[in-house]
Chains A and B, each alone.
Chain A
Amino acid sequence: MDIGIVFTALFVAFNCGILGVFLMLRKMAMVGDAISHSVLPGIVIAYLIAGTRASFPMLIGAAAMGLITTVLIEFLTKKARLQNDASIGISFTWLFAIGVILIAVFTKGGIDLDQECVLYGDIAYVNLDKIIVDGNLYLGPRAMWNQIPVFVLISVVILFGFRGWQITTFNPDYAASMGISVSRWHYLLMSMVSLVTVMAFEAVGAILVVGFMIIPPATAYLINSKLKMVIVLTLVFATLSVLLGYRLAIYFNGSIAGGMISVAGIIFFVIWCLQQMVKKLLVARSDENVGGWLVQENKIIR
């Protein structure tokens, strides 16, 4: 087992999963996908300004464009009164298209800026960029060391602001009636999503980012008990997907990212089937309980 690859994937999965829980509960699950596409013009502009293909200016450009994307989505939803999913669709396709045009315009002079290689890394290659100190002390892939501070940041922000995330996600109007700035919390979340997405897909590819942002939270949400438990379960399912997915990929000699997301999907369906079976058992055992009571009350209302 390649420790470097597995740990990089684990931290990407944790970062994406934790934020994904809140994105899903806010009905914005596809925002991560949107950001991973719409950052293209940001990367091109950063390249034009900095004049190099060094990854740091590109990261800045991409992260800034990620934030602009979320502002644009918010603007289209609030001011243009579009459905949230339509706003997401417009924002990222439009920005991606602008990025493609920008590349076409500026590669005429023979500049090598291909979106496949700029935008989407592959987790199998994270070991090509290692951090080595003193010439021989190998500390692991750079992508992993990029993800760890982000993980710490997210954990701290989510833990300390837990009540804020809870109330602004469940009932924004109610939070606003207490004087809590709902939009400030929204943009804090979006900045973190933007940061994680940009840093992760540069190293490991978009499918891993988008997949981990949605599937483990959705699986945890099926079991649906308490918000804290949903986050913990997300981490558990993410870990399982990474470990089993890596094994699967090695066994079939296939794509590592593909293996991990496939396993995540399989876990989702297994949990769903189990849940349906448990539900049937429970209903069969106690008919007069919750289900029966609800039906009774509906009759009273009508």
Chain B
Amino acid sequence: MKERKVAVEAHNITVAYDRQPVLWEVDFEMNEGNIIGIIGPNGSGKTTLIKTLMGVITPDSGYVEVFGAEINRVRDQIAYVPQRESVDWDFPASVYDVVMMGRFRKNNLFHRSNTNDRKIVRESIEKVGMTPYINRQIGQLSGGQQQRVFLARSLAQEADIYFMDEPFVGVDAATESAILELMTTMKNLGKTLIIVHHDLQTVSEYFDEVLLLNTRVIDYGPVNSVLTDDNLKAAYGGQLNVLTKVGDLLKKREFPIREKEFKKRSKS
């Protein structure tokens, strides 16, 4: 069996805004070829963490390495799907224009796109089923379609590690299954997917490994070993409505029928 390389490692990362720590001594190593979920309550630093891993935010202390190298040397190997709400969708650009941004590189900004770029862009759009809308202005798309455009853009980057920030928020059922299908395909190609997620119900369905975050790393590992009562309480303690959800989740586990279903899903 092929030995697995470490894809992303973070060592003692601390990030603070106005002296208020958002991430505190975060330390982990993520292996390549996995679908890894980063979960935690609102304001637990999930987005800050992936931005730090990608070198968008410089940590106040600690360091990040991607494939054992400093981030600036491996930029071409990472792709990013930002939160959908983080951009202005009224921007004058078509689906094609936005996906083409996936072909931009720091050192090709002053060139024009070549045939290969255009081919990859069209293929990426096809992969997410957006070809009928290729020339549509991005503001005229539904939420799910906009999310697919972002996915296509990250596919066009042809990277090895994909960072996705809440890709399942506000999307329709069709887009959700399209994203899941893509995730499986990419995993089979040996890609690493690091996905910020907040819905506890679906965690075991989507991910191989989970990093439970609340400013500090509560726990990191395979889904079943991380989602324990103690860990969830440590992460979500005090948030009542979330606690009931956690309760539901725990209850579900206690039912043998559900248990079977879970096992079936995690096997497939």
- Which of B18, B78, B172 contacts A177, CB < 8 Å? B78
Asked if B109 contacts A163 (CB within 8 A), the reply is yes
- Chain A positions 215 through 226: 1 when the CB is less than 8 Å from some CB of chain B, otherwise 0: 000000100111
Does B221 lie at the interface of the complex (its beta carbon under 8 Å from any beta carbon of A)?
Answer: no
Does A167 sit within 8 A of B, measured CB to CB? yes
- Cα–Cα, bound, A170→B90 (Å): 10
Residues of A within 8 A of B93 (CB): 166, 170, 226-227
Tell whether, in the assembled complex, residue A174 and residue B82 are in contact, meaning their CB atoms are under 8 Å apart.
Answer: yes
Contact A293 B142 (CB under 8 A): yes
User: Quick one: closest A residue to B73, CB to CB?
Assistant: A179
- The segment out of A203-211, A264-272, A294-302 that lies at the interface is A294-302
Query: Which of B54, B91, B110, B144: most chain A Cβ within 10 A?
Result: B91
Residues of A within 8 A of B82 (CB): 171, 173-174
Query: In B97-150, which residues have CB < 8 Å from any A CB?
Result: 97-98, 101, 104-106, 108-110, 137, 139-140, 142-144
| Residue of B72, B97, B106, B173 touching A227 (CB-CB under 8 A) | B97
CB distance B142 to A294 under 8 Å? Answer: yes
Q: Is the interface of B mostly helix, strand, loop or mixed?
A: loop
- Give the contacting residue for A164; candidates B54, B75, B109; CB below 8 A: B109
Residue B80 lies at the interface, judged by CB distance under 8 Å to chain A: yes
A227 to B92, CA, bound (A): 5
Are B109 and A180 touching (Cβ within 8 A)?
A: yes
Q: Known: A170-B93, A225-B92, A294-B142. Contact between A177 and B80, CB under 8 A? A: yes
Interface membership of A102, Cβ < 8 A: no
CB of A111 closer than 8 Å to a CB of B: no
* A297 vs B147: C-alpha distance when bound (angstroms): 14
Report the nearest B residue to A171, measured CB to CB.
B87
Known: A161-B110, A226-B97. A221 touches B54 (CB 8 A): no
- A229 close to B (CB within 8 Å): yes
Complex CA–CA separation, A180 to B56 (angstroms): 10
Q: Give per-residue flags for A37-71: 1 if the beta carbon is below 8 A from chain B beta carbons, else 0.
A: 00000000000000000000000000000000000
Judging by beta carbons under 8 Å apart, are A167 and B55 in contact? no
Tell yes or no: B94 within 8 A of A by CB: yes
What 0/1 pattern do residues 67 to 97 of A give for CB contact below 8 A with B?
A: 0000000000000010000000000000000
Does B202 make an interface contact (CB < 8 A)? no
Q: Which residues of B lie under 8 Å from residue A175 when comparing CB positions?
A: 104
Alpha-carbon distance between A174 and B103 when the two chains are bound, in angstroms? 12
With both chains docked as a complex, state the minimum distance between the C-beta of A300 and any C-beta of chain B, in angstroms.
5
Say yes or no: A170 contacts B80, CB within 8 Å: no
In chain B, positions 62-97 with a C-beta closer than 8 Å to chain A are: 72, 75, 78, 80, 82, 86-88, 90-94, 97
B92, B106, B142, B144: the one within 8 Å of A229 (CB): B92
* A150 beta carbon closer than 8 Å to chain B: no
Q: Are A170 and B91 in contact (CB under 8 A)?
A: yes
CB distance from B63 to the nearest CB of A (A): 16
CA distance A1 to B76 in the complex (A): 56
Task: Please name all residues of chain B whose beta carbon is closer than 8 Å to the beta carbon of A180 when the two chains form the complex.
Answer: 104, 106, 109
Known A25-B91, A170-B91, A177-B78: A300·B172 in contact at CB below 8 Å? yes
B170 in the interface, Cβ–Cβ < 8 Å?
yes
Please name 8 further chain A to chain B contacts, defined as beta carbons within 8 Å, in addition to the given A160-B110, A224-B137, A230-B92, sorted by A numbering: A161-B110, A166-B101, A171-B101, A173-B82, A177-B75, A179-B106, A180-B106, A227-B91
Binding site for B on A (CB under 8 A): 25, 81, 160-161, 163-164, 166-167, 169-171, 173-180, 221, 224-227, 229-230, 290, 293-294, 297, 300-301
Closest 6 CB pairs between A and B?
A: A177-B80, A179-B75, A176-B56, A164-B109, A177-B54, A179-B106
The interface of chain B, by Cβ under 8 A from chain A, is: 18, 51, 54-56, 72, 75, 78, 80, 82, 86-88, 90-94, 97-98, 101, 104-106, 108-110, 137, 139-140, 142-144, 163, 170, 172-173
Identify 7 residue pairs between A and B in the complex whose beta-carbon atoms are under 8 Å apart, listed by A's number: A81-B18, A163-B109, A167-B101, A173-B86, A176-B56, A179-B106, A294-B142
